């Protein structure tokens, strides 16, 4: 079953995240598990964002969470966030292309 992890965070330093994420993607090439990551901005709230990472399975998500590169990324994100990021793990129960 596919799953997703969602991180809700607030930051006025989103440009730093873009730069860091580009470097992280290059550095972890060939050693990543997630197959899709989306960063979205809340259109009704200043500086509020969601990072949505989709995985093929819950096991893949759990393995990814235990990797040092993932911990490093989470540390960086916490460092540029205004307050603590909120993490959620979701199992996909239905997907429809409409």
52: CATH: 3.30.70.100
Beta carbons within 10 angstroms of residue 38's beta carbon: 11
Kindly state whether residue 98 falls inside one of the protein's structural domains: no
Query: What is the end-to-end Cα distance of the chain in Å, rounded?
Result: 21
Q: Judge whether 25 lies within some domain.
A: yes
Q: How many domains does the chain have?
A: 1
Predicted pLDDT at 35: 82
Q: What is the mean pLDDT of the chain?
A: 93
Rounded to whole angstroms, the Cα distance separating 97 from 79 reads 36
pLDDT for 34:
74
Q: Quick one: pLDDT at residue 31?
A: 87
User: Tokens 């500086």 identify what position?
Assistant: 47
Grouped pLDDT means (10 residues each) for the chain, 98 residues: 94 96 93 89 97 93 91 95 94 90
Q: Tell me the three state secondary structure of residue 63.
A: helix
Q: Is residue 96 assigned to a domain?
A: no
* 55 inside domain: yes
Q: For residues 51 and 72, what is the distance between their CA atoms, to the nearest angstrom? A: 15
Q: Let me know if residue 38 belongs to a domain.
A: yes
What range defines the domain where residue 38 resides? 3-91
């Amino acid at each position: 079953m596919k799953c997703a992890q969602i991180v809700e965070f607030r930051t006025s330093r989103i440009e730093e995240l873009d730069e860091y994420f580009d470097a992280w993607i290059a550095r972890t090439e060939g050693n990543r598990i997630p197959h899709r990551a989306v960063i979205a901005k809340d259109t009704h709230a200043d500086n509020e964002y969601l990072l949505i990472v989709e995985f093929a399975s819950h096991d893949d998500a759990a393995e990814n969470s235990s990797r040092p590169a993932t911990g490093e990324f989470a540390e960086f994100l916490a460092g540029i966030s205004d307050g603590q990021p909120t993490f959620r793990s979701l199992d996909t129960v239905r997907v429809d292309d409409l």
